[in-house]
Chains A and B, each alone.
Chain A
Amino acid sequence: MAENSNGMNRRKFLTVLGVTGGGAAALSGCSSDSVEKLIPYLVPPENQVPGVATWYASTCRECPAGCGLHVRVREGRAVKVEGNPDHPVNAGRLCARGQASLQGLYNPDRVRQPLSRTADGKFEPIAWEDAIAQVAERLGGSPSDGVRFLTGHEAGSFDRLVDEWLAAFGSRGRVAFEPLGYEALRHANRTVFGIDGLARHDFAAADYVLSFGADFLDTWLSPVEHARGFGARHGYRDGHMGRYVHVEPRLSMTAMSADEWVAPRPGSEGLLALSVAHVIVRDGLASTPADVHRVRPLLDRHVPETVAAETGVPADTVARLAREFTAGPSVALAGGMGIQHAAAHVTAAAVNLLNYVAGNVGRTVRFEGTPTGRPAPYSRLVELTSDMKGGAVRALFMHGANPVHGTPPGLGFRDAMQAVPFKVSFARFMDETAQACDLVLPDHDPLEQWNDFETRPGVHALQQPVMQPVFDTRATGDVLLQVTARVGGPASARLTVTSFKDYLQRSWAALQARVGDRRPFATFWTEALQRGGVWREPSTQRVTLAASAGSLEGSSTWRLPEGRLALIAYPSSALYDGRGANRPWLQELPDPVTKTTWTTWVEIHPETGAELGIAEGDVVEIASDMATIRAQAYLYPGLRRDTVAVPMGQGHTAFGRYAEGRGANVLHLLDAEPTAFGGVATYTGVTLRATGEHAPLPKTEGKPRQMGRGIAQMVTLEELARGEGHGEHGAHAAPVPERIEEILDHWQEGQDEATKYGAYEGEHPRWGMAVDLSRCTGCSACVTACYAENNIATVGPESVRRGREMSWLRIERYFEGGENGEPFEARVLPMLCQQCGSAPCETVCPVFAAYHTPDGLNGQIYNRCVGTRYCSNNCPYKVRYFNWFDYQEPADPTFAWPEPLHWLLNPDVTVRSKGVMEKCTFCVQRIRDKQNQAKLEDRDRLADGEVLTACQQTCPSDAIVFGDLNDPNSRVSALARETRGYHALGELNTRPAVTYLKKVRNLVEG
C-alpha cells in the first residue's frame, strides 16, 4: 500500500527515526525527500535493534486509577501500549482510554514549545530559558501566599515536589482538583467510618454485587481492576456465577452486565439502601457488628413498605434484595458521578451502612490506609476562585487541570483568572484554561517523563520516558527546579536537587528503606523500572462506625422539581470528564450504550420522546435553571421515563482539532454551588424542547434489536443447571435426519480433501477464538486496542453517519424487552471477522485478495485488492471495511494521521490506501512474528497462549481467548466445546472460527 504517499509508510518510518534517534530532534514529518534514504544512528542507542521491539514498563496517567503499562517501542518510537502483566491493579489489561494514551503523546495539537502571551492576546513561541527567567522574576522577592498551584490528582514525588516548591516560595496554596473527585464517597466515609479516603472493592471475592449507581466498569475509581475481578467472579464457570443487581434510574454500560436492574425514583437510592439494611438488621440476616446499634434508630425509620412510596421499588423487592445480599460474600457500591445528586453523600453513607451491617467492610470493602496525594473537593476550587476574584492570588500555576471546561460556568473560573496578574500553565494541550494563561510551559507527555504514582497504598508505580520527547517540551518537575535555581536564595536552598529524576530517585531511595530492601539502590531501582514499580500487600484497616454515623439524615433525598425531568450528567466512558476529547480513537469509539460517536447526545425514554414529539436525531434544547444546551436525541429504553441523561466530555471550545466545537458541555446545565459534601451535583431538573432541527446521529448502530436472530444469545443460570444450554436459538432449524447428516459430512470431507494442495498440504494450526459473553461487559477496550495495533483509520463524524467507520472489531449492542412490561435488557457482543472455514467472502473475490490461509485465517491481501467490495456484500457478519477515501494520504482532507500522529503506526502492519478492503485477520502480524521467532528457536509449534491478539491482550474481563482449534488441549478448543458455545449465524454453514459462549444471566428463581 502507500505507493503514492509521501511519508506514511513503514519504510519512511524507519528512515526519519534514525535522525531523531541520533539526537537531532527534528521531526521532519511527512515532508521527506522523494529519494529513499537509509539513515543509521550515529551512535547505537541502548537496547535498540532495528526491526525488533523493545518494551518499557510505565504507568498510565489517563485517569487516577493508575494502571501499569508496557510500552512497545520500535526504532525509538512508542507504537503501542499494553497493560503490565505484573501490575497488581490491571494485571496486563487496559481500558480504551489507556490504549489511547499514545494519541496524547503524538497528538498533533500538543503545545510544541513554550508560548508566551503577547500584548494583543496571541501566543508566540518563547525560549525555555526566557520563560524560566520570566517565571523566576515574577516569583522572586518576598515569599507570599499569593502563589497558588492548581494540579490534577497526583500521588507521588511530583505531588510532594509541588508542595515543597510552593513552600519554598512561602505559599501553601496548593489545590489538587480532580473533576471526578468522588467527594460524596469521601464525605460518606468520613461520616460513617471516620476515614478520609476511598475503599478498595474486591469484586473477585464478591458473589453478589449491589451497585447503587456505581459505573464500576466504565469510569468509577479503577474500572480495569474491577472488570478483572468482576469478570472472574460474575463470569459463568462450571455451573457457578455471581449475581449483580444495579440500582440506578439509568441503565449504564456497567449496568448492562447486571442480572437485574432496579430503577428507583432519581435521588432516592439512599433510602433503598437503608431499607435493605433495615431488613438485614430486622431479620438478622447477617451477623452484624455490635456497634450497629448506633444506627438502629436510623435504620428503623426506613421500613421498606414506607420507603416504597418514595423510591418506587416494591417492599418485597427490597426484602428479596436483602436476602440475596446476605446469602454469601457480597459488596454494595455507591456511585461516583452516576448518582451524584445533592444527596449523593446520603446514598453513599447508606451504602456504607449497608456494607457494614452485612459484614462486608474489611472483607470485600477494604480500607487500606491513606494514600499519598488526595484530591481536594470541588469546594476548595470554589474557595480558590473566590480568592482569585478577590485579588489575593498573585500568581497562579496550573498543571493537569482544565477547570474552565471541567466546572460549571457559574463558578466563573475564567473570569477569576482575569484577576490574577500572572498565570502559568503547564498544559500539554492548548485547552480552555491554558488559553487564558500568560505563559504555557508544555509538560512532557507521561510517556516521555520520569515520575511515580502511588495508585493506592502499597502500589508504588514508576513512569519512565520510553522515548525522546516528540516536541520541545520539558518535564514540569524540571522546570520547577530550574525556576528555583534561577530565583536562587532561600528558595533554591530548600530544593537542592538539580533534576526531577534526582528528586524522584531520592524519594525512591527513601522508599527502599521503608520497604526494607537492603540491596544497592541501583539494583532496586533497575528492578523497579523493569517491573514498573514496587508493590506490597497493604494491611487492611479495622473499621468501626464513627460517632457521626447515626446522624445521617435519611430522609434528605434529592427531589426532582415538579414538571421537570431529571437530568443525569454522567462521565463518558470514552472521554472521561472530557480529557479524552482530543483523541480521535476515543471520539470515534462508539459509546458502549448508545453507540454514538463524535458528539453529545441526550438519552430520552422512547415514551417520553413520543410525548414530547422527539425522534432520534432531533436536535433538542435542554434547559436547566442555569443554562440551555443543545444536543441530539437518542431514544433509549434503559432509562426511567422521568429521567434524561447526557454524557460529559464534549463541548470544548479549545483543546485541538478533534475536540473543538463538538457537541455541548453538559456541565453548563449544572449548579456551580458546591453541595453539602463539597462536590458538584450532576443531577438537575431540566425541560426539553424539540427545536425542529434534525440530523442523523453519527452512530454505528443500524437496528437496535436483533429480530430474534440469535446473534447475541443468552441463557439463564437456571436453564444451564437444567442442561438447557443450547438455548433460545432455532427459529427455523428443523432437525436434520441422521442419514442426511452423514451424507453431508461425507461430502464435506471430500470437499476438504480436495483443498489439500500446495501450501495446504500437511498439518497446520487452525486459529480460532472464543468469546465469553458472560464476561464481556461491552467496555470497548478491545476496539481501541485493535485501532492501535492495526493502524485503523479514524474517519470522522460525517463518515460515521454514512456507516463508514473502520473498526475491525466492534461491540454490537442489542436491546431486548423493555416493551409490554418485559424487563429491559441489553446484550453486547464483540463482532469481528469470524475467519469462516467456508467463507462466503473468499469465493467471490475475483483476484484472490480474500482467500483462506493454510492456518485457517481469512487472509486479506491489501495490495492485491481491486476493490469490488463483493466480499463485503457476501459477508453475513459485515466485518469487512472499505477504504472509501485515502486515509493515509497527507494531501487529502481525510488524512487520518496528521503529523506526528503517524508515528504511532504499527510498522508491522500495512497502512491501507484508498479503494481496498480491510479486515481483522486475528492480528496475523503477531502470529507470523511468533512463528518466525519459534522457527529461529527450532520450534515447529507455538505454545498455547503464545500469540495474544491485541483485543484479547487488553480485555479487562478476560472474555477473549485465542489459540489453535486443531490442538484439542488448547484453551480455546476447550471453550469451543462448551455447551454454551455457538456460532453467530451458524445456520449459514460458514463454519466460523469464532465461538461465542452464551451470556448467562443469574435470574431470581420463581
Chain B
Amino acid sequence: MSTMTGGVLASYRFVDAASGAIRTLKAEGIRDFTVYTPVPNVEIAQAVGHRVSPVRLWTLLGGLLGCASGFALTLWMSFDWPLVVGGKPIGSVIPYVVIAFELTILFGAGATILGLIFHSWRNRQMGAYEGRFTDDHIGIFVRCPTERRAEVEALLRAAGAEEVRVES
C-alpha cells in the first residue's frame, strides 16, 4: 500500500506492449505500480506475477462454517423443543443434510464476497486513472517520487505507450 499518489500514467493500446512495459518496470526494480485493464488478461497477470488470490480460503472457510452451522442449527433446534412428526427421530440427520448443504453454499458464497471486498480493500491502489481503461486501453500507473518520474516516463514510452503523462 502506498500513500504516495503521484506518479506516471501510461496508456497502451496493445497488450504485448503493456506486458512488456510491466516486465521492464519489474526489471528496473519498480514494483509500486498499478495496471488497469478493461478485461482480465492472462498475459498481463503473468507479467505482474501476483500469487493466487487468498479469496479461495474465504470460500473454503465459509463453506465449512455453513455446513457446520447447518447441522448445528437443525439439531439444536430439534432438541430444544422435541416434537415428534411422522414417527421420525427427533434429530433426523438425513433431512438436515439439505439444510446443511444450502447453508454451505450460502455461507461459502457470502464469505467469498466478503473476501473479495476485504482483499480488494486491503490491496487498494490509489493513483491516477482514466475512463478509457475500462473501455479499450490498458493503463499503467507507476507511483514514484518526482525525481524518478522522467526516467519512468521514458521507460514506459519505450515500451510502446500510446500516451504518457506525469501526475502529481
Contacts and interface: CB of A to CB of B under 8 A. Distances in A.
A752 B88 CA distance: 7
Interface stretch (B9-17, B21-29, B79-87, B153-161): B79-87
Contacts of B90: 754-755, 757
Closest 10 CB pairs of A and B: A754-B89, A843-B86, A842-B85, A758-B82, A838-B87, A757-B82, A852-B84, A755-B84, A842-B86, A851-B83
Contact of B87 (A845, A848, A850, A991): A991
B91 interface: yes
A720 B87 CA distance: 34
B85 A850 contact: yes
A843 B83 contact: no
Interface in B101-121: none
A851 B87 contact: no
Nearest to A757: B82
A755 B79 contact: no
Given A759-B82, A838-B86, 4 more contacts: A751-B89, A754-B89, A838-B87, A850-B85
Contacts of A991: 87
Nearest to A859: B83
A752 B85 CA distance: 11
26 contacts: A751-B88, A751-B89, A752-B87, A754-B88, A755-B82, A755-B87, A755-B88, A760-B82, A760-B84, A837-B87, A838-B86, A838-B88, A839-B86, A840-B86, A842-B84, A842-B85, A842-B86, A843-B85, A845-B85, A851-B84, A851-B85, A852-B83, A852-B85, A852-B86, A852-B87, A991-B87
Interface in A751-804: 751-752, 754-755, 757-760
A752 B87 CA distance: 7
B157 to A, nearest CB: 68
A839 B83 CA distance: 13
Contacts, number: 50
Contacts of A751: 87-89
Interface of B: 79, 81-91
A838 B88 CA distance: 8
Nearest to A754: B89
A966 to B, nearest CB: 15
B82 to A, nearest CB: 4
Interface residues of A, number: 21
A717 B150 CA distance: 114
Interface of A: 751-752, 754-755, 757-760, 837-843, 845, 848, 850-852, 991
Q: Which of B79, B90, B91 has the most CB of A within 10 A?
A: B90
* Residue picked from B86, B87, B88, B90, most chain A C-beta under 10 Å: B86
A752 B84 CA distance: 10
Contacts of A755: 82, 84, 87-90
Contact of A839 (B79, B82, B87, B89): B87
User: Looking at B87, B88, B89, which has the most chain A CB atoms within 10 Å of its CB?
Assistant: B87
A837 B84 CA distance: 10
Contacts of A754: 88-91
Contacts of B89: 751, 754-755
Tell me which of B82, B85, B88 has the highest count of chain A C-beta atoms within 10 A of its own C-beta: B85
A592 to B, nearest CB: 34
A103 to B, nearest CB: 37
A841 B88 CA distance: 12
Nearest to A755: B84
Interface centre among B81, B84, B90 (most CB of A within 10 A): B84
B79 A757 contact: yes
A731 B43 CA distance: 71
A640 to B, nearest CB: 49
A843 B81 contact: no
B129 to A, nearest CB: 51
B112 to A, nearest CB: 29
Nearest to B80: A758
Contacts of B91: 754
B91 to A, nearest CB: 7
Contacts of A760: 82, 84
Contacts of A852: 83-87
A849 to B, nearest CB: 10
Nearest to A750: B89
A848 B85 contact: yes
A991 B82 CA distance: 21
Contacts of B81: 758
Contacts of A840: 86
B88 A839 contact: no
A757 B89 CA distance: 10
A991 B88 CA distance: 13
A253 B86 CA distance: 37
Contacts of B79: 757
A850 B84 CA distance: 10
Nearest to A841: B86
Contacts of B83: 848, 851-852
B61 to A, nearest CB: 30
A851 to B, nearest CB: 5
Nearest to A854: B84
Contacts of A848: 83, 85
A759 B79 CA distance: 11
Nearest to B95: A843
Nearest to B92: A754
A752 B86 CA distance: 10
Contacts of B86: 838-843, 852
Contacts of A758: 81-82
Instruction: Among A759, A838, A843, find the residue whose CB has the most chain B CB atoms closer than 10 A.
Output: A843
Nearest to A752: B87
A820 B85 CA distance: 47
A757 B79 CA distance: 8
A848 B88 CA distance: 13
Contacts of B82: 755, 757-760
A153 B83 CA distance: 57
A532 B88 CA distance: 50
A97 to B, nearest CB: 40
A757 B83 CA distance: 8
A751 B89 CA distance: 6
Nearest to A853: B84
A755 B89 CA distance: 5
A759 B80 CA distance: 12
B77 to A, nearest CB: 11
A866 B84 CA distance: 19
A843 B84 CA distance: 9
A755 to B, nearest CB: 5
Nearest to B81: A758
Residue picked from A758, A848, A850, most chain B C-beta under 10 Å: A758
Contacts of A838: 86-88
B76 to A, nearest CB: 13
Contacts of B87: 751-752, 755, 837-839, 852, 991
Contacts of A752: 87
A703 B88 CA distance: 33
A755 B81 CA distance: 12
- Interface centre among A755, A840, A852, by most chain B C-beta atoms within 10 angstroms, is A755
Contacts of A851: 83-85
Nearest to A843: B86
A643 to B, nearest CB: 49
B74 to A, nearest CB: 13
Contacts of B88: 751, 754-755, 838, 843
A841 B83 CA distance: 14
B98 to A, nearest CB: 13
A838 B89 CA distance: 11
B134 to A, nearest CB: 47
A837 B83 CA distance: 14
A843 B95 CA distance: 11
Contacts of A842: 84-86
B52 to A, nearest CB: 42
A272 to B, nearest CB: 56
A283 B82 CA distance: 74
A757 B86 CA distance: 15
A747 to B, nearest CB: 11
